[in-house]
Amino acid sequence: MGRMRRQAWVIMVAAVLALGCFTQRRPISGHDIDPRQVDEIVPNVTTKDQLIARFGKPDEVNEKPGGREELVYRYQGKVQKTTELIVFSKTTTDTERKNLRVLVRNGVVVETSYTNSANPAENRSK
C-alpha cells in the first residue's frame, strides 16, 4: 500500500509541475495605471500637482461647471493569458482598458473614478 501511495504522490507532484498559467501584458497606448497608486489618492487632501507628479500629464483636461477641472488618464493594452496543461495549452488575448478620471477644484482632488475592463473588481470611485 505504501508503494502505491508514493507513486500516486509522485504522479500528483508531476502533474502540478506540468500545469502552468502565464500572463503577458503589452501596452498599446497610454501609460499603465496602477490601482495601488489610485488608492493613494485622497479626496480633499491630494493636490493636482501631486497627481501629475504620480501619473504624469493627463491625456485629457476638461473644464467643468463650478470652476472644476476633470483630468483623464487612459491606458489600453493587450493581455495574453496562456494556460498549459500536460497535453495541451490554451492562449487567450483580451484588450484591457483602464481609465482614471479625477475632478479637481482649487488645485485639490475632490473626486476620483477608476475602471479596468479586464478586472472589474478593481473598479472604484471616491
Residue-wise pLDDT for 54-86, tens only, equals 999 999 999 999 999 999 999 999 887 777 766
pLDDT of 14 above 70: no
Total domains in the fold of the chain: 1
Give the CA angle between residues 12, 18, 24 to the nearest 5°: 140
* Contact present, 107 and 47 (Cβ < 8 Å): yes
Residue 21 CA to residue 67 CA, distance in Å, equals 49
C-alpha cell at 71: 483630468
Task: Tell the residue number behind the cell numbers 500637482, with chain if given.
Answer: 49
* Beta-bridge partners for 115: 99
Which run of H or of E encompasses 13? Answer: helix 2-18
Which residue is it, cell 487567450? 92
Position 1 confidence tier, pLDDT thresholds 50, 70, 90: low
Q: Which domain does 63 fall in, by range?
A: 2-125
The pTM of this model reads 0.73
